[in-house]
């Protein structure tokens, strides 16, 4: 059975990183953007990371510019923004695509394991639903991720156990992470 440990990704400097390096840890894998309405999620993400990393928790941050060009700039600019504005200290990887023919294979795997199940009833869902329809038209069966700050929870064996859309309250995400620890 395939797990996240079967994937190798690029860190923000372009070096290969095997996700097997994170074996035995609880992971939260997130596609992010620096200019999104959900960018403030960096604050509770960093707080969760700071509070829980010593218990075997890691957040893996993958910037993505596929949603309304909300992650402009190169890896260094993105990293500086996240560090200076939010104090983000968790691992940040190379900017990637999460949809289409150029989608990062890791995200194709994550979204296949835990497909999109809806945005819920957050006040911003009407806009996200419209964009999601356009996304589906643009990428067809390769429209894996619907918006920035989609989060995947991975257990200590490398299995995908939950998917959280950006509209999910961060308290709910933290509660799920803490239950895995």
Question: Which has more confidence, 128 or 14?
Answer: 14
pTM of this prediction exceeds 0.75: yes
| Dihedrals phi, psi of 34, to nearest 5 degrees | -90, -15
Domain limits, the chain: 4-180
Which CATH number does 4-180 carry? 3.40.30.10
Mean of pLDDT values over 150-168: 97
Size (the chain), residues: 181
Kindly list the distances between the CA atom of residue 68 and the CA atoms of 24, 33, 35, 65, 127, in Å, as whole numbers in the listed order: 36, 10, 9, 7, 12
pLDDT tens digits, residue range 76-129? Answer: 888 888 888 888 999 999 999 999 999 999 999 999 999 998 887 766 677 788
79-111 burial, b at 16+ Cβ within 10 Å, e below that, comes to bebbeeebebebbbbbbbbbbeeebbebbbbbb
Strands 26-32, 57-63: pairing is parallel
Average pLDDT, the chain: 92
What pLDDT is attached to residue 178? 98
In the chain, pLDDT over 70 holds for what percent of residues? 98
Active site residues per annotation: 36
pLDDT tens digits, residue range 40-82? Answer: 999 999 999 999 999 999 999 999 999 888 888 888 888 888 8
């Amino acid at each position: 059975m395939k797990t996240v440990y079967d994937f190798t990704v690029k860190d923000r400097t372009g070096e290969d990183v095997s996700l097997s390096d994170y074996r035995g840890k609880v992971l939260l894998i997130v596609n992010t953007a620096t200019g999104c309405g959900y960018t403030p999620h960096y604050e509770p993400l960093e707080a969760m990371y700071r509070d829980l990393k010593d218990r075997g928790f890691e957040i893996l941050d993958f910037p993505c510019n596929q949603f309304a060009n909300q992650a402009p700039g190169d890896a260094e600019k993105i990293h500086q923004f996240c560090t200076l504005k939010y104090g983000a200290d968790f691992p940040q990887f190379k900017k990637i695509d999460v949809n289409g023919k150029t989608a990062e294979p890791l995200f194709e795997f994550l979204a296949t394991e835990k497909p999109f199940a809806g945005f819920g009833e957050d006040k911003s869902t009407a806009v996200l639903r419209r964009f999601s329809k356009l996304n589906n038209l643009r990428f067809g069966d390769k429209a894996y991720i619907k918006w920035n700050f989609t989060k995947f929870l991975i257990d200590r064996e490398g299995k995908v156990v939950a998917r959280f859309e950006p509209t999910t309250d961060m308290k709910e995400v933290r509660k799920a992470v803490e239950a895995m620890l």
